[in-house]
Amino acid sequence: MRKTPMTQEEIGRRRGEIVAHAGPWRTDNLRLAKNVYTMGEDAQGREARVRRAVQTVLDFSASRLKGLRVLDLGCGEGGFALEFGKQGAEVVAIEGRPALAEKAEFAREALELHHVAIVRGDVRRLSPEEHGFFDVVLALGILDRLDAPALFDVARRVGAVCKGFALVEAQLAARPRASHLSDGIVFRGAPRRSRDKEETFLLTRTSMLRLLARSGFTSIAETLDPDAAEDAPCFAAFKGRRVALQTAPQANAVLPSGWGKPQPATPQHGLARLLRRGRR
């Protein structure tokens, strides 16, 4: 049985209580009721990123959001998950940090989004058995918050639950300073200390693409936006059926070398090299 909807006054009161013990909202400025916002009517959060994600999913889903099953990994305060819910998608959002999960669940209840589920849990335990399968998986700013073993494992888990496509946004390493071996493949990147003083591992662009391909995605496209961070691109990785060539069947048993073992680093050529030379 559904609960009685909260009144505007109750929403405002509960918002104040959450701020008092869990701190203010910092990323998602959501309108919960008339004149009641999580951050304030004139405050700016990550609305531009939410719009980009929703637009990308809409365009890649033949202008259809209603009825899509969407998974949001590391949902934070819930901005992405709740907007997709408002647009008609069925959403499961996973968040391991209690204060953020509480904020997302409160906003979900205030907005009466009964087809959105905020799950307090660890993305490293993602599995088809526990969570099911999804048309769209949002991995926006989550892979670059993991250490190397968890990074490779979670990427494979994303591939296992995704039956459509995944949006993967992650900060990349500008140059390789370390390597990690996973399933016999060397992945290059750089270690980094997170804000929580935990060590994470950033992949290079080539290794990120290789990891997505090794996780079961058959085509990978980069979504472009002039306002997006250059060092944190967003990839759309599609879970398709690997094509078998009929005119050259002898090639079907050979994995393209670019997705197999890494190639040795080579000097930059073309425009990138000229631009670097021009900065000297």
pLDDT of residue 10: 97
Are 40 and 104 within 8 A, CB to CB?
no
* pLDDT at res. 206: 95
In this structure, the chain runs to a length of: 280
Q: What is the average pLDDT across 122-130?
A: 97
CB atoms within 10 A of CB 211: 24
Q: Is a pLDDT exceeding 80 seen at residue 240?
A: yes
Buried b (16+ CB within 10 A) or exposed e, 215-249: bbbeebeebeeeeeeeeebbbbbebeeeeeeeeee
Is 60 exceeded by the pLDDT of residue 1?
Answer: no
Q: What is the mean pLDDT of residues 61-65?
A: 94
Q: Give me the pLDDT at residue 278, please.
A: 42
Which CATH code for domain 8-278? Answer: 3.40.50.150
The full set of domain ranges for the chain reads 8-278
Give me the percent of the chain exceeding a pLDDT of 70: 89
* 266 — pLDDT class (breaks 50, 70, 90): very low
d(CA 210, CA 179): 14
Summarised one tens digit per residue, pLDDT across range 87-125 is 999 999 999 999 999 999 999 999 999 999 999 999 999
Running DSSP on this structure, what letter comes out for residue 265? P
